[in-house]
Amino acid sequence: MRRNAPPMTQITPNQAAPDTIAATRNRILVTTDGSELGNRAIDHAQSLAQPLGADLVILYVQRDASGPMEEFGKDRVTPADIRRRKEEMTAELSQRYPEAKLRFEPRLGQKVGNIVMRVREQEQAKMIVMSTHGRTGLRRAVLGSVAEDIMRHVRVPVLLVKADQPVVEWHG
């Protein structure tokens, strides 16, 4: 026996709750770590945003400064290094993507995935675009996967970009 489909309800802006109206704006959140692979995700997101008429929000999660135990390590990061990197990223991203909103978030010991999910909610982005190394097996188990963590917990589409994927030109 075939069931009838439930009736559809159309909500016009003046009937919608305020959070529903805000969510109707098209916005894509794209993450980068400043690497070539990370910035490639921005190119993919931009190619989608233009024909969709979506705003682009670029998120860069800043590394924490090195703690006392790492003071003499080769990968030591000072607060001055963090400020300098933010200035470099701002200049580079502003020039390459002048229409995008830039967000710089300090890590402060938090998981990167949690920061991405919080910013997605704050910005009310309808999609997340991010790069992935495509690790599998033991390497993924040991190193973890920020992308996988995000995909499990968000309720919006997530587009994962690997290094060898060419940017597609979308047409509206």
Q: What is the pLDDT of residue 138?
A: 56
Dihedral sign (CA 48, 145, 74, 59)? positive
> With bands split at pLDDT 50, 70 and 90, how would you rate the model's confidence at 162?
confident
Range of weakest confidence among 37-41, 45-49, 72-76, 141-145? 141-145
DSSP states of 64-130: PPP-GGGTTSTT---HHHHHHHHHHHHHHHHHH-TTSEEEEEE-TT--HHHHHHHHHHHHT-SEEEE
Across the chain, what does the average pLDDT equal?
78
Domain 22-160: CATH class, spelled out: alpha beta
Q: What is the pLDDT of residue 10?
A: 37
Integer Cα distance of 162 and 172 in angstroms: 24
- Domain extents in the chain: 22-160
* Per-residue model confidence as pLDDT tens digits over 107-116: 888 888 999 9
